[in-house]
Amino acid sequence: MRITDLTLPVENGVRGVNITPARRLDTDGWNATTLGLYSHSGTHMDAPAHFLPGGATLDAQDLSACVGPARVINLAPAAPRQLITPADLGDHADAVGPGDRLLFRTDWHRRHGTDAYRDQLPRIALDLAHWLVQRRVALIGVEPPSVADVNNLEELTAVHQVLFRGNVVIVEGLAHLDRLAADTVDFIALPLKVTGGDGSPVRAIALERQAAP
């Protein structure tokens, strides 16, 4: 089994992250830190409460959707501000069905730490969001920090709400999908169990089964 970490590092300098010392080994006897984390910082999962009035919170998340086989859709290299539509799925489109998990590879994680990472991101078109709901997809994972344009509230709200109302789990800020050799992997992304949470950083990994020698 080959394990690939699909998670961005949580460190100072990342938008929404503030890590400060709480205890020091040399003075207190142990090391500890205080973590200040924006709920949608780094690699993270959204809960419906993020955009839906009265939407489900993270502690109610069905974890079965967060673990299982996932199809890697290779769209790399994505263009800045590219609108990803159903047509971009190519041959994958006919095979997508209920309960599927889709990971959209765009190689956008390579721009992490730049202004373009957030402000010029490729995003899920509204018609693709509807298409995913119609196909009853269980989860989608994207490399940009959002599935929609963070500088366009109308688009941001519409795409998130369509996906949430269709029970599609959203994982954002994935990295290193370019390291995967297989088109289908076992995917795991588990959020913190935050009571009333609208989102949480996750540790996302992919498992590829290697052929026996």
- Indicate which residues carry an active-site annotation: 50
**Distance (Å, rounded) from C-alpha 148 to C-alpha 199?**
16
Task: Give me the count of residues in the chain.
Answer: 213
Residue 40 amino acid letter: H
DSSP character at residue 64 = G
* Radius of gyration for the alpha carbons in the chain, expressed in angstroms and rounded: 17
Using the structure block, give the residue that is written with the tokens 């086989």: 69
For 83, counting Cβ atoms within 10 Å of its Cβ (0-12 exposed, 13-18 middle, 19+ buried), the class is: middle
**Distance (Å, rounded) from C-alpha 10 to C-alpha 211?**
33
DSSP character at residue 12 = T
Q: What is the largest CA-CA distance in the chain?
A: 61
* Cβ–Cβ under 8 Å, residues 71 and 184: yes
**What is the CB neighbour count within 10 angstroms for residue 9?**
12
